[in-house]
Structure 1
Amino acid sequence: MRKRVVLYRPVPADVLEILRARFDVTAFDEVSEANRPQFVQALGSAHGIMGNTLKITAALLDAAPELEVASTISAGYDAFDVEALTRRGVVLTNTPDEVTETTADLVFALLLSSARRVVELANWARAGEWRGGVSEHYFGMDVHGRTLGIVGLGRIGAAVARRAAQGFGMRILFTKRRPDPHAESAWGAQRCELDALLAQSDFVCTMVPLSSETHHLIGARELGLMKPDAILINASRGPVVDEAALIAALESGQIRGAGLDVFEREPLPADSPLYSLPNVVALPHIGSATRATREAMARRAAENLIAALEGRHVSTIVNPQVMELRRARGVCM
């Protein structure tokens, strides 16, 4: 009997064909209030699911008694109740490698745009305000030779550090649970505690996954430790930063500015002060949003799903402890 798969995000046509050649596929472009009953009904016989952004809760998993694999088309997996998946013996896979370089590009775009006031001054010029030379009032700040503090030197953080050190001659500080000999030798990076990083950095870049430990990791106290001329960059997950505290710090001039691709609530409400503050660059969560990267993510997610459902090894399993549960139940992978 062919296994059944439910997709809840669009995928490229060739990826869909690959999946349909192996499984019975039910595809939803998205899950809304209108089609949620049909989606839940499809989950009832699903062996695998694939998509992103939708919250996969324990209650939703109760509707999927046959589920074996959840494959997310993303590096992050905070949309999933990992504990509930693991308890049910469901493998969760992600796509961390495909997003690394593209997201690092976007992080640096935020950094440069914030430092040189690119969006603010482009809008100023477009509004017809550019009538002569640009006065000191509109000057930005240099990036080259400055200090970049990276909170969480994982895959993407390391790619940002490489760009900063090799391309802009920046001094790199980072926080990480363990030393990183490669970063230290290749880029002269220095590992330090968060408070020291905040106090010394001209740019602070948050690159940690969202968890109970990192929720509001950067709050009023942490923002108060930053230099008055410092800029905060967040392209990880919105709730890593206390948004209300950040808005207060930006409005008061406690820090110079912020470059943000993620927010506590997405889409960011139209009346958010972050849209009206001139010292903020706010993007609509586009870290991995290039055609090549999104297609690569979809293909890897499909490959993960196929391998896991066919009992083969998958290198990017979020909850490897589920393997012990499967072995205990006599299921091989």
Structure 2
Amino acid sequence: MKIVILDGHTENPGDLSWADFETLGELSVYDRTRPEQTAERIGDAEIVITNKTVIDERILTACPSIRYIGVLATGYNVVDTAAAAKRGIPVCNIPTYGTDAVAQYVFALLLECCHHVGHHAGTVRQGRWCSSLDFCYWDYPLMELKGKTMGFIGFGRIGQRAAEIARAFGMRTVAYNRSQSERGAQLAEYLPLEELLTVSDVISLHCPLFPETKGMINRKSLALCRDGVILINTARGPLVQEEDLAEALESGKVGFYAADVASVEPIPADSPLLTAKNCLITPHIAWAPRESRERLMKIAVENLRAFLNGKPQNQVN
């Protein structure tokens, strides 16, 4: 059984081990794979593990030996799942590994918006405090979270975990989701989307990327928001119409945008968000604490072992 991992570097830059995969077959690991290399590197392998390397109809046709595709992530839009299903190839993802890490990161971003810790620490190193006439100074308005309303668009595992943290800060929590659960209702008040937009001081995106959610944060929806709203995005970049958001940041309609994702990744040098004011973007690292990646690795191996035992798990097609 030949196993090929096409782009293993982000999951394991050297601090983890692929040893458990090696117990299941003849393993080849590549740090990165360019599109023109994909078919050649898969070759006659039966098991293909990918993170962001695209597996489409062309690759499936060129590599007829494929029996299983594992995705080292929750999102699986890099795989043509319908084409795989036609060939009887299960596609399995990792749905639960990063819940706590991503929820924690939501508040890393939000607290930076509230206090601008990085900026102010930088001014101290530059000598401004040493020469200050006063015992303190601040360059941005500082915000206390208690009593503010935090709205969650998408309220699955990560959204609910983040709501627990928000409540610990003394925030009111509201949520919009296509379906409503009993546990969700214990953590937030479910509202229609338009109402959530109008009442929230902070909005955090947690919904998947579907045709109906693409660009859902746009000029029209932003117009419904409170002036100065803080928008957090740790979900998917294309949920946001970035040109409209940049305009809203410049006008002050959006007080701050903090995101760990972009519509195109890596973010293009000409993205309007790179020059927009009050915009904080990090390079898609919310998922990446070692503890989280260890869970991901374990589940990926369990997914493959389950397939080899004839009982695929976490199958998305």
Q: TM-score over 0.5 for the alignment?
A: yes
Which range moved further: 39-48 or 168-177? 39-48
**Which whole-Å CA distance do the structure 2 matches of 1:271 and 1:260 have between them?**
17
**1:242-257 alignment, distance < 5 Å:** 242-257=241-256
Aligned to 1:324: none
Equivalences for residues 1-333 of structure 1 within 5 A: 3-10=1-8, 11=12, 15-32=17-34, 36-37=36-37, 39-130=38-129, 131-133=132-134, 138-165=140-167, 167-185=168-186, 187=187, 189-314=188-313, 316-319=314-317
Alpha-carbon spacing, 1:122–1:224, altered in 2? closer, same or farther (3 Å): farther
1:229 and 1:256 in contact (8 A); partners too:
yes
Unaligned runs of 5+ in 1: 320-333
C-alpha spacing 1:276/1:123, structure 2 compared with 1 (3 Å): farther
In the TM superposition, residue 31 of structure 1 has moved relative to its aligned partner by: 0.3
Deviation at 1:27, TM superposition (A): 1.7
Q: Which runs of 5+ in 2 are unaligned?
A: none
More helix, by proportion: 1
Hey, what's the Cα distance between the residues in 2 that align with 1:22 and 1:136?
56
Work out whether residues 307 and 313 of structure 1, in 8 Å CA contact, stay in contact via their aligned partners in 2.
yes
Change (3 A) 1:132 1:98: farther
1:49 match: secondary structure: strand
Post-superposition Cα deviations, 1:83-108, rounded to whole Å, max 9, x if no partner, equal 22222221111112111000110011
How much has 1:266 moved relative to structure 2?
Answer: 1.4
Query: TM-score, normalized by length of structure 1?
Result: 0.86
Contact 2:242 2:272 in 1 (8 A): no
Q: In 2, are the aligned partners of 1:68 and 1:309 still within 8 Å (CA)?
A: no
Larger RCO of the pair (alpha carbons < 8 Å, separation 6+):
1
Q: Is 2:250–2:277's contact at 8 Å kept on the other side of the alignment?
A: no
**SS of 1:97 mapped into structure 2:** coil
Partners of 1:132 and 1:62 lie apart in 2 by: 71
- Normalising to structure 2: TM-score of the pair? 0.90
Alpha-carbon contact 1:71-1:302 (below 8 Å) kept: no
**Secondary structure in 2 aligned to 1:212?**
coil
Q: 1:132 to 1:196 in 2, by over 3 A?
A: farther
Report percent identity of matched pairs.
Answer: 33
Q: Using the alignment, how far apart are the partners of 2:126 and 2:151 within structure 1?
A: 35
Given that residues 250 and 279 in structure 1 are in contact (C-alpha distance below 8 angstroms), is that contact kept between their aligned partners in structure 2?
Answer: yes
Report the Cα distance in structure 2 between the residues aligned to 1:125 and 1:246, rounded to whole angstroms: 31
Amino acid at match of 1:168: F
Q: Is the 8 A contact 2:7 2:53 kept in 1?
A: no
CA-CA distance at 1:272 after TM superposition? 3.7
Distance 1:159 1:132, change over 3 A: farther
Q: Given that residues 69 and 309 in structure 1 are in contact (C-alpha distance below 8 angstroms), is that contact kept between their aligned partners in structure 2? A: no
Question: Is the 2:16–2:294 Cα contact (8 Å) retained in structure 1?
Answer: no
**C-alpha separation between the residues in 1 aligned to 2:16 and 2:217?**
42
SS of equivalent residue, structure 1 residue 22: coil
8 Å CA contact 2:242–2:273 kept in 1: the answer is: no
Distance 1:32 1:169, change over 3 A: same
Return closer, same or farther for 1:150/1:132 CA change in 2, 3 Å cut-off: farther
Deviation at 1:132, TM superposition (A): 4.2
State whether residues 15 and 302 of structure 1, in contact with CA within 8 Å, keep that contact through their aligned partners in structure 2: no
Q: 1:207 to 1:132 in 2, by over 3 A?
A: farther
Other structure's SS at 2:66 match: coil
Alpha-carbon deviations, 1:228-284, whole Å to 9, x = none? 121000000100111111111101111111111000111223454434444122111
Asked whether the equivalents of residues 73 and 94 of structure 1 are also in contact (C-alpha less than 8 Å), the reply is yes
Give the aligned residue type for 1:8: L
Secondary structure of the residue aligned to 2:249 is: helix
> How far did 1:118 drift?
2.8
